[in-house]
């Protein structure tokens, strides 16, 4: 009998991992449910193929929406999966849905078949599909899942796009500075050798130019090694926690980081709750969707309180990551019992707020970077002109 690796959420809310012997993934998932566990991922205990990685989130969202339309229109599930498997523009998604169709045709549930493709389909996708299968609203669950994946991709695109222009300015500025100090200024140093007392700014600029011309190329590997070391250090949770605590308190970056983490958490939890996933498993799954270790720890503490019968909002308030107006709406929705829809509305509101914050940050960063470039040019000009004025006065 084959062995299956699983990740599940117990009745108390804690995450459980292990292996289970069963004739199929569907049987393994059913066995876990009999034990009071909510499966998140059930996968064969074999090595995964790296060829399954690198899938467009927008393409996957479109596939979910298309499959949801077909199910809602009465198209048989297997036929819909086969149609998605015939896609030539996204071969990895086509390969995955073809294999999923084979498993479903063999008697497995859709959610259990999806668990075999973790490089294409994250585990929480299967949890939402499983809730739709149980509740008899699979088409609606697929639509909500497609909308969630699309919104996450849009937010990621906005964040990435907002960084392009500032990074371009920084790259151009560093390139110009390197050329000026490494190639241009050393040629003028011999002109001022007969000047007895050079201005302080000239001495500083020529000293920096001498350093860049001698050690500029040597320092590049050192800088690359430093960047690699910083990237490696950021993989550690304690370093991430320390960096995020500083960043979330900063005046410009802090509000953006807090808003993005809050929007991701609200979008994920709201979608899971409206999709029929129970509160505690939904919180455990949404914990990892925030993309922020501080928010994940706050959600974990809130889940512990919910497990003991307390409200979620007070624990989130103690973390200091969510704005007061959002917490007030969460508290009202929690007391009224309509937390899922309100969370989705909150996510939309915060995503619009993120747009405004990103626009304001870019408008602030752009003149600062241009001003820094102008300052460097001004200092270089002063370093060259002041000795010329001294030489002319001396004549």
For 164-191, what is each residue's pLDDT tens digit?
877 888 888 888 888 888 788 887 777 7
Inside any domain, residue 50: no
Q: How deeply is 161 buried, as exposed, middle or buried, from its count of CB atoms within 10 A (0-12, 13-18, 19+)?
A: exposed
Please say whether the beta carbons of 144 and 72 come within 8 A.
no
Percentage of residues of the chain with pLDDT beyond 70:
90
Which of 112, 147, 182 delimits the end of a domain?
A: 147
For 52-77, what is each residue's pLDDT tens digit?
455 778 888 888 888 888 888 888 88
pLDDT attached to residue 23: 66
Please say whether the beta carbons of 101 and 70 come within 8 A.
no
Helix (H, G, I), strand (E, B) or coil at 6: strand
pLDDT attached to residue 259: 86
Nearest CA among 313, 238, 328 for reference residue 283: 313
Inside any domain, residue 78: yes
pTM over 0.75: no
16, β-bridge pairs: 8
Inside any domain, residue 348: yes
Q: Answer yes or no: do 141 and 217 share one domain.
A: no
Q: Answer yes or no: do 138 and 152 share one domain.
A: no
Tens place of pLDDT per residue across the chain (395 aa): 456 777 777 766 677 777 776 766 677 777 777 777 777 777 766 434 333 455 778 888 888 888 888 888 888 888 888 888 887 777 888 888 888 888 888 888 888 888 777 777 876 677 778 777 777 778 888 888 888 888 878 877 877 877 787 788 888 888 888 888 878 888 777 777 766 777 888 888 888 888 877 777 777 788 788 878 887 877 777 877 888 788 888 887 888 888 888 888 888 888 878 877 788 888 877 776 667 788 888 888 888 888 888 888 888 887 778 888 888 888 888 887 788 888 888 888 888 888 888 888 777 887 888 888 888 888 888 888 887 776 665 54
Inside any domain, residue 205: yes
Question: What contacts 135, CB < 8 A, 6 or more positions away?
Answer: 141, 276
Which of 125, 147, 169 delimits the end of a domain?
A: 147
Please say whether the beta carbons of 329 and 346 come within 8 A.
yes
Q: Answer yes or no: do 21 and 92 share one domain.
A: yes
Per residue, what are the HEC states of 148-215?
A: HHHHHHHHHHHHHHHHHHHHHHHHHHHHHHHHHHHHHHHHHHHHHCCCCCCCHHHHHHHHHHHHHHHH
pLDDT attached to residue 49: 39
Q: Answer yes or no: do 332 and 311 share one domain.
A: yes
Q: Answer yes or no: do 120 and 171 share one domain.
A: no
Question: Edge-to-edge strands of the sheet including 38-44?
Answer: 15-21, 3-9, 38-44
Helix (H, G, I), strand (E, B) or coil at 272: helix
pLDDT attached to residue 255: 85
Q: Answer yes or no: do 183 and 198 share one domain.
A: yes
Structural domain tally of the chain? Answer: 2
Q: Answer yes or no: do 173 and 104 share one domain.
A: no
Phi-psi region of 347 (alpha: psi -120 to 50; beta: other; left: phi over 0): alpha
Q: Answer yes or no: do 84 and 221 share one domain.
A: no
Dist. CA 31–CA 26, nearest whole Å: 9
Inside any domain, residue 177: yes
Q: What is the CA radius of gyration of the chain?
A: 28
- Token pair for residue 228? 């690699």
Dist. CA 70–CA 76, nearest whole Å: 8
Dist. CA 392–CA 299, nearest whole Å: 70
> Rounded to the nearest 10 degrees, how much is the dihedral formed by the CA atoms of 164, 165, 168, 174?
-120
Helix (H, G, I), strand (E, B) or coil at 360: helix
Output b/e per residue, 184-202; b: 16+ Cβ within 10 A: ebeebeeebeeeeebbeeb
Q: Answer yes or no: do 112 and 214 share one domain.
A: no
Which of 147, 182, 210 delimits the end of a domain?
A: 147
What is the domain-level CATH number for residue 186? 1.20.81.30
Residue 308 phi, psi (nearest 5): -90, 5
Q: Answer yes or no: do 260 and 393 share one domain.
A: yes
Q: Answer yes or no: do 171 and 311 share one domain.
A: yes
Q: How many CB atoms lie within 10 A of CB 67?
A: 25
Q: Answer yes or no: do 122 and 239 share one domain.
A: no
Q: Work out the angle between the directed axes of helices 339-394 and 200-233 (0-180°, nearest 10).
A: 150
Helix (H, G, I), strand (E, B) or coil at 40: strand
Half-sphere exposure of 318 (CA within 13 A, CB side): 11
pLDDT attached to residue 394: 52
Which range of residues forms the domain containing residue 167? 148-395
Inside any domain, residue 232: yes
């Amino acid at each position: 009998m084959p062995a299956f690796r699983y990740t599940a959420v117990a009745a108390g809310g804690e995450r459980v991992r292990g292996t289970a012997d069963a004739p199929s993934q569907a049987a393994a998932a059913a066995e876990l449910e009999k034990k009071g566990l909510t499966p998140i991922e059930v996968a064969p205990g074999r090595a995964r193929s790296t060829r399954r990685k690198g899938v467009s989130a927008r393409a996957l969202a479109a596939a979910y929406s298309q499959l949801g339309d077909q199910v809602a229109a009465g198209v048989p599930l297997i036929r819909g999966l086969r149609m998605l498997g015939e896609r030539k523009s996204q071969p990895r998604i086509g390969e995955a849905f073809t294999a999923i169709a084979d498993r479903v045709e063999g008697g497995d549930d859709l959610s259990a078949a999806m668990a075999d493709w973790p490089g294409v389909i994250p585990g929480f996708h299967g949890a939402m599909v499983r809730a739709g299968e149980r509740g008899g609203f699979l088409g609606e669950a697929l639509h909500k899942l497609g909308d969630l994946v699309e919104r996450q991709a849009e937010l990621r695109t906005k964040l990435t796009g907002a960084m392009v222009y500032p990074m371009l300015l920084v790259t151009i500025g560093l390139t110009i500075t390197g050329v000026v100090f490494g190639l241009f200024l050393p040629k003028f140093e011999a002109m001022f050798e007969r000047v007895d007392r050079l201005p302080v700014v000239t001495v500083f600029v020529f000293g920096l130019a001498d350093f860049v011309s001698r050690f500029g190329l040597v320092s590049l590997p050192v800088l690359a090694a430093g960047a690699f070391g910083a990237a490696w250090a950021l993989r550690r949770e304690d370093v991430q926690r320390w960096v995020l605590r500083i960043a979330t308190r900063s005046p410009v970056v802090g509000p953006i980081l807090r808003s993005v983490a809050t929007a991701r958490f609200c979008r994920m939890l709201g979608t899971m709750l409206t999709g029929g996933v129970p509160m505690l498993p939904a919180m455990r799954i949404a914990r990892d969707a925030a993309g922020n270790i501080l928010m994940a720890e706050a959600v974990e503490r809130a889940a512990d309180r919910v497990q003991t019968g307390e409200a979620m909002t007070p624990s989130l308030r103690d973390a200091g990551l969510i704005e007061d107006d959002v917490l007030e709406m969460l508290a009202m929705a929690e007391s009224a019992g309509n937390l899922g829809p309100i969370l989705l509305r909150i996510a939309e509101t915060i995503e619009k707020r993120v747009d405004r914050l990103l626009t304001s940050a870019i408008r602030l960063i752009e003149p600062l970077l241009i001003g820094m470039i102008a300052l460097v040019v001004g200092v270089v000009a002063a370093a060259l002109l002041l000795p010329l004025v001294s030489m002319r006065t001396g004549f």
